[in-house]
Amino acid sequence: MRIYVFGNMLIKEDNSALLMVSILQKTFPHIQFITVDPNENFPPEREKNVTIIDTVSGISTTLFLDFSDLKNIEKTPISPHDYDLLLHLLLLKKIGKIDSVRIIGIPMGADINKEITEVKRIISSLL
């Protein structure tokens, strides 16, 4: 299993997922955690079902989101902080490049020690 990790280490509000990677790799050594820029060749060719960990604005606790949630989010002020990612994922779905997306959404500026337990629980439920 691969999980793609998004974020920006230089921006405190956007680095929670990146700070969790080393902890998650120790807990789930059989999962490949791949740090990527979603605007650069994402997702890899022939990868139809993607799992992402990213920061989400407008939430107060870690959530699990999929395409049905993204379609609802598109119409509300609560969305993944990088609206381009939301649009990118919906376009990839529309043109058949991906079939599904699962996002583990972490609140902006989250305390990773507080949220890591929920992130681990969500990942365990995906196995």
Q: Would you list the domain boundaries of the chain? A: 2-126
Give yes or no for residue 118 having a pLDDT over 90: yes
Domain boundaries 2-126, CATH class: alpha beta
pLDDT of amino acid 82 = 47
Q: In this predicted model, what pLDDT tens digit does every residue of 45-94 receive, in sequence order?
A: 788 899 999 988 778 889 898 877 665 554 444 444 445 677 777 788 88
Reading phi first (left if > 0) and then psi (alpha if -120 to 50, else beta), residue 36 is in beta
**Predicted model pTM:** 0.83
